[in-house]
Amino acid sequence: MSGSRVLRRVLVANRGEIAVRVIRTCRRLGIETVLTVSDADAWSLPARLADRVIRIGPAAAAASYLNVDAVVGAAIAASVDAVHPGYGFLSENARLARACAAAGVVFIGPSPQTLEATGDKLAARDHAVAAGLSVLPGGHVTPAGGKAAADTVNEAADPRAAVPAAEVASRIGYPCWSRRAGGGGGRGLRVVRDPAELAHAVAVASAEAAAAFGDPRVYLERYVEHGRHVEVQLLGDGEHVIHLGDRDCSVQRRYQKLIEEAPAPGLGDDLRERLRAAAVALGERLRYRGAGTVEFLVDADRREFYFLEVNARVQVEHPVTEAVNRQSTSSPSSSRSPKAGPCG
């Protein structure tokens, strides 16, 4: 990896389990840690483990852990070499990544360009297709009689790509499902089996996405009845990308994962290798840096798979992959050259 930098002091911009794991890994690597905390976490386990603690705001996450200026200000005040965002909060925030770069601080994660490409699900689909991956038939839609959300939310998006939902549904067939263009956590997902349900489903999905993420854009895709949710763990340094195997997360409740199993059972060697190769191909196109996950929907009947999205961060379920590979995905060195061997 060109331009590599020795990290001696890292700011951990998170709390709870992931903060503990990062701090312990840094300690093992001889790296000093600085932890940002809200008032509610001043006496937490991560705060007791870190070498230094900086308060960045009150208990409310919006005024502390989600405050980009406060996090970057703490990084500058503590003269850290890097910021590790963990998962959730600002982990996929391109503004934080840019602010770190402007301050001369390493952001342990993807580049701002990659975060923008993966954070917009429509843009991520385009990158997946360009990398040779299959996507479910579908497209960006507008509610019946509504304007393309791209006109008001994302000027970079092409409003011509948004067409009436009924037109897309007619082309791809039923059942279909609505998905939000931005954000995550299962918000905006609605399965539609009857044309009479479509307008309401898209309107509700758009409203949920707008309320949760400030982005009402919605797209429709063909719904796979007997699908499995399989994801591939990636590590990259911006030049090279490797995979650390796959996980099955098909057991879910309300689109929230309940059980993760690695490696994913019952795929067969050919399908497994194609899944992993596809994930690496997309990571290489994105010049991916850090730990990330490419999610796929596997059609169990046809033995085919389709790209769903990229989680451009270490995930809550990363310990499952760590247990199988004995390799840390929360280490500051997980954004260094994966050709160098184990990273923590």
User: Rounded to 10 degrees, what is the CA torsion of 184, 145, 222, 217?
Assistant: -20
Rounded mean pLDDT, 164-169: 94
Please give the distance of CA 119 from its chain centroid, rounded to a whole number: 7
75-79, 159-163, 247-251: least confident range = 159-163
Q: Which candidate, 331, 219, 236, places its Cα nearest to that of 284? A: 236
Residue matched to tokens 């040779």: 132
CA distance 161 to 177: 18
Rounded mean pLDDT, 308-331: 85
- Whole-number CA gyration radius for the chain: 20
Q: What is the pLDDT of residue 71?
A: 98
**What is the residue-wise DSSP string for 123-135?**
HHHHHHHHTT--B
Helix/strand/coil for 187: coil
64-73, 249-258, 329-338: least confident range = 329-338
Rounded mean pLDDT, 5-21: 96
- Say if residue 263 is preceded by a cis peptide, omega within 30 of 0: yes
What number of CA atoms fall less than 13 Å from residue 325's CA on the CB side? 24
Q: What is the pLDDT of residue 331?
A: 67
Q: What pairing do the DSSP bridges indicate for beta strands 82-84 and 106-107?
A: parallel
Active site residue 171: no
Rounded mean pLDDT, 28-32: 97
Q: Which candidate, 341, 311, 286, places its Cα nearest to that of 86? A: 311
Query: Which distant-in-sequence residues (6+ apart) come within 8 Å of 51 by Cβ?
Result: 32, 33, 34
Q: Does the pLDDT of residue 170 top 70, yes or no?
A: yes
Q: Does the pLDDT of residue 124 top 70, yes or no?
A: yes
* Residue pLDDT, tens place only, 42-51: 999 999 999 9
* Residue pLDDT, tens place only, 194-241: 999 999 999 988 888 887 677 888 999 999 988 999 999 999 999 999
Angle between helices 112-119 and 94-102 (to 10 degrees): 170
Helix/strand/coil for 301: coil
Q: What is the pLDDT of residue 343?
A: 34
Strand runs labelled E in 6-129: 9-12, 32-38, 52-57, 82-84, 106-107
Q: What is the pLDDT of residue 225?
A: 86
Q: What is the pLDDT of residue 301?
A: 79
- Say if residue 175 is preceded by a cis peptide, omega within 30 of 0: yes
Q: Does the pLDDT of residue 58 top 90, yes or no?
A: yes
Helix/strand/coil for 304: strand
How sure is the predictor about 340, in pLDDT bands with cuts at 50, 70 and 90? very low
User: Which of 162-166, 172-176, 324-328 has the largest mean confidence?
Assistant: 172-176
Q: What is the pLDDT of residue 154?
A: 39
Contact 296, 275 (CB under 8 A): yes
Count CB atoms within 10 A of the CB of residue 95.
14
Q: Which candidate, 213, 205, 212, 136, places its Cα nearest to that of 173? A: 136
101-105, 267-271, 306-310, 328-332: least confident range = 328-332
Q: Which candidate, 90, 149, 151, places its Cα nearest to that of 119? A: 90
How sure is the predictor about 160, in pLDDT bands with cuts at 50, 70 and 90? very low
Rounded mean pLDDT, 107-134: 95
Between the CA of residue 197 and those of 68, 140, 190, what are the distances in Å? 40, 18, 10
Q: What is the pLDDT of residue 286?
A: 98
The C-alpha angle with vertex 81 and arms to 79 and 87, in degrees rounded to 5, equals 110
Between the CA of residue 341 and those of 43, 302, 334, what are the distances in Å? 36, 36, 10
How sure is the predictor about 171, in pLDDT bands with cuts at 50, 70 and 90? very high
Catalytic pick among 98, 125, 222, 313:
313
pTM here is 0.85
